């Protein structure tokens, strides 16, 4: 059973455009929602994360929007660049305990020059 559902599976965006990736979860006990970025042949690396006490978090061109009532969160990449081409994973975990992450299935983003 997939604890975190992610869409789309793949995304192609023109340079300068906005990339949007969506995730949904069922477990209302989740209270930490990170996004990881993975380049081919590398391990995932933390990109940005949010806690449910805020509805939005922005770091540079990357923004997480969080809708607690809908149990959904999304990643927006503004002014997408070819260097942003990677696979993006959303995840969720509990603040207490061992920090076990439940990952979405990933979105392969391609930014065309």
Question: Does the protein bind other proteins through residue 62 (CB under 8 A)?
Answer: no
Mention every residue, 6+ apart, whose C-beta is less than 8 A from residue 86: 37, 38, 39, 40, 108, 109
Question: Does the protein bind other proteins through residue 89 (CB under 8 A)?
Answer: yes
Q: Cα–Cα distance between 106 and 37 in angstroms, integer? A: 9
CB-based contact 26:71 (threshold 8 Å):
yes
- Between 2 and 41, how does the x/- string for binding to other proteins read (CB under 8 A)? x-x-x--x---------------------xx-x------x
- Binding site residues, other proteins, CB under 8 A: 2, 4, 6, 9, 31-32, 34, 41-46, 49, 51, 89, 93, 95-106
């Amino acid at each position: 059973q997939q604890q975190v559902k992610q869409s789309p599976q793949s995304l192609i965006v023109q340079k300068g455009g906005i990339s949007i990736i969506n995730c949904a979860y069922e477990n209302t006990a989740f209270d930490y929602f990170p996004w990881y970025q993975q380049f081919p042949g590398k391990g995932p690396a933390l990109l940005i994360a949010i806690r449910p006490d805020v509805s939005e978090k922005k770091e540079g061109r990357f923004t997480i929007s969080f809708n607690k009532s809908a149990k959904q969160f999304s990643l927006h990449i503004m002014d997408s660049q070819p260097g942003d081409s990677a696979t993006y994973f959303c995840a969720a975990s509990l603040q207490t305990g061992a920090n076990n992450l439940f990952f979405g299935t990933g979105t392969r983003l391609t930014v065309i020059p």
